[in-house]
Structure 1
């Protein structure tokens, strides 16, 4: 069964809370303890995220295996909270989410996609470069003292 990219629903919140809990626990060294802890959200908070912004999920083998948030504002798409369960990594799920977000952005007439990531997330940074995203800024000691690289792609 091939992976399916779809919009998240409020019913996905418990699975997404578990996904984020597992993923951010593994990324503490790259994100810093406070930021990693802050990104681990309860299902109620994730439901609010889904109701406020658009979240995409990838289902594989009947399980939510990856997620990414999209904030559409002022002709731009801001991507956030991209996470893939460890046992589903290196299968193209993050790429599928990024490509779907880009298609949605183009359909909406957005002029740019942007996001930030921690310098230590090397696999993610390689993915972004392979998709044509380029670093456009560096935020020092930004979230809880964590440095971030800002990426963008003009559409």
Structure 2
């Protein structure tokens, strides 16, 4: 009976674990911004007026390399400035977690895998900045 309990317990653990480990979708390629918005203010130590925009801050995300659920690439801003990006795809196969220069963000892939939502914030003492951008896969 003890062996049967162990087998049933192990089987349940495998089934539960596998339900959280979705295969990672392939997100390598170029993603183009279709819409976005952002907000910016100064800080206590660096006062500045608030700015609000209904435009995306990024123009493209280029995912260059992916291995399983881990990936890296570059974000290209409308100013032409690029920033390195490191990221992972969550166990559900749709949640995204990003780290970029001076910031962090989260996102979500559409069920079809052709659209990406990416929102983030800065981690700086000179300004507060938050944004959201919707991207579509272009290649």
**TM-score, structure 1 length as denominator?**
0.27
**TM-score, structure 2 length as denominator?**
0.30
